[in-house]
Structure 1
């Protein structure tokens, strides 16, 4: 059973499991079906925030429950209440649960000197933030803590996903370059000299991890990222190649010169790069796609969505999270003032 089946990860995960001969029930609030799923996939409508409705959807039980929309300890307790009917679970977490050795994490990144400096690469042994009900990261940490503590009742594989990308994403970071290319912007400003690395995670690679974890139950937390952690310059060049354009990079030392100039969705002062050796060792994991190889599918999806109107209407969550990513007036003023 897959909860959150019509989301960006869910669509890929349901397909991967069904093609691996699992009998899959795809659960979502709307009860929808993806055109790419095999015919044998069953669909069910359920709101996971309603304990009774979710329990009814689980029914007599399932061998594996995949939860793609669990966000806090209350969801861990919800799953544990079903443990007598569920063999094992696979639950999506986030690499944002990590904190560095000075206690800095994603929640402190906006403070002066507050961006975390993780080892490169980050392994699952890196310490995590204290569970609390104060942020996405602390709630995910609470989710993890409760599920791992109850591994004897419900063996759960937690997948700490990086910067998720692929079709159906509500906040596609690739939009930053795709729209600029569509708008025929000849230059782009990149802070930190375009050298930032924020580890991406393709939905198909995450789906492969889910498929493997379903067949190998256990109580564990594993990183879930792509084999590549490209720099911003490399990401931009790869998107240009897909779209058949050439764009000049204007590289800025240090942080963005203003809030709406040079701040890409990947821009960080230090790298955030994770290791995948534990998943390789415990699950026999091998990635199914590399970042650049996955871009044609992602770019086509974004272009299709942008064709429906204003980017803020096509991607309202993107605008909510990142603000105005396309302040061309501010960019032009910066370039003009810099004599570029």
Structure 2
């Protein structure tokens, strides 16, 4: 069973498992199905927060549960309560659980000198934030702890994803460059000289990791990122190449020079680059796609979604996270005074 099957990650996960011979039940709030799915995929409605509904879909038991929408210890306990009826689990976590040697993490990044300084690359042995319910990172850490505590009773692979990308994303960071090209903005500004690196994770590569972990159950945490971590400027250039756009970029030393000018969704003061050796060693993992190879499908999907529409209505989550992402007036004013 795949919980959250109709989303960005769930869709390719279902495809990958079907190709590997699994009989898949695709569970989601709406009960929808993707056009690419095999006819044998069973699509069902499921309210993730309803314990009884989850237990009913699991029924007498299933060999594997893939949960791409679990966020906290409560969700973990929903799964562990079904121990004996679930053979193994693969659950999505996040690189946001990591903290640096000074106790800084994603939750401190808006504080003065609060952005974490991680080793390059980050391995799974890096310390994680304190467990809790107050923040996304703390909840994900609690999710991991609860599931790993089940041990052999419910073998669970936790996949720590980075900046997830691909079609159907609720927070498509590529929109920062795609929309500018659609709007005819041939000049852009990038803070930190465009050298920021925030490791992306293709939904297709995550699906491959799920497929491999399903075949080799175990209690473990693994990074789940792409083979390379391109810079912010590199991502912009890659989007331009796909769209046939010619742009000029002003690279600014240090943080955004004025408000959010130059603050792309990848503009971080210190790199977050993760190591994939453990997945290669434990699962025989090899990435199925690079960032650049996956980009055309993302750009095509984004272009179709936003053309002629208000991007905030299309992507309310991104609008909350980056409300001034397209403040062109502020960019023009800064450039005029620079």
TM-score per shorter chain, which class?
over 0.9
Match of 1:296 in 2: 296
3-state DSSP of counterpart to 2:234 = helix
Match of 1:248 in 2: 248
Give the aligned length.
338
1:140 positional shift: 0.2
Alignment of 1:273 with 2:270, yes or no, is no
Equivalent position of 1:207 in the other structure: 207
Q: Secondary structure at the match of 1:31?
A: coil
Mapping of 1:103-182 within 5 angstroms?
103-182=103-182
| CA distances 1:213-238 after superposition (whole Å, capped 9, x unpaired) | 00000000000000010001110110
Q: How does 1:25-174 map to 2 (within 5 A)?
A: 25-174=25-174
Name stretches of at least 5 consecutive residues in structure 1 with no aligned partner: none
User: What is the CA distance between 1:32 and its match in structure 2?
Assistant: 0.6
Runs of 4+ in 1 over 4 A off after TM superposition: none
Across the aligned residues of Structure 1 and Structure 2, the Cα RMSD in angstroms comes to: 0.7
Structure 1 contact 72–143 (Cα < 8 Å) conserved: yes
Q: Could you tell me how far apart the structure 2 residues matched to 1:104 and 1:40 are?
A: 47
Indicate the residue corresponding to 1:327 in structure 2: 327
Shift of 1:44: 1.1
Which residue number corresponds to residue 282 of structure 2?
Answer: 282
TM-score by length of 1: 0.99
Q: Distance in 2 between matches of 1:127 and 1:93?
A: 15
Q: Match of 1:47, SS?
A: coil
List per-residue Cα deviations over 1:233-288 (Å, max 9, x = no partner): 11011000000011001000000012321000011001000000000000000000
For residues 45 and 322 of structure 1, the distance between their equivalents in structure 2, rounded to whole angstroms, comes to 31
Distance across 2 between alignment mates of 1:129 and 1:258: 31
Matches within 5 A, 1:166-245: 166-245=166-245
SS of equivalent to 1:83: coil
TM-score, normalised via structure 2 length: 0.99
* Cα deviation, residue 15, structure 1: 0.6
Q: How far apart, in 2, do the equivalents of 1:260 and 1:231 lie?
A: 18
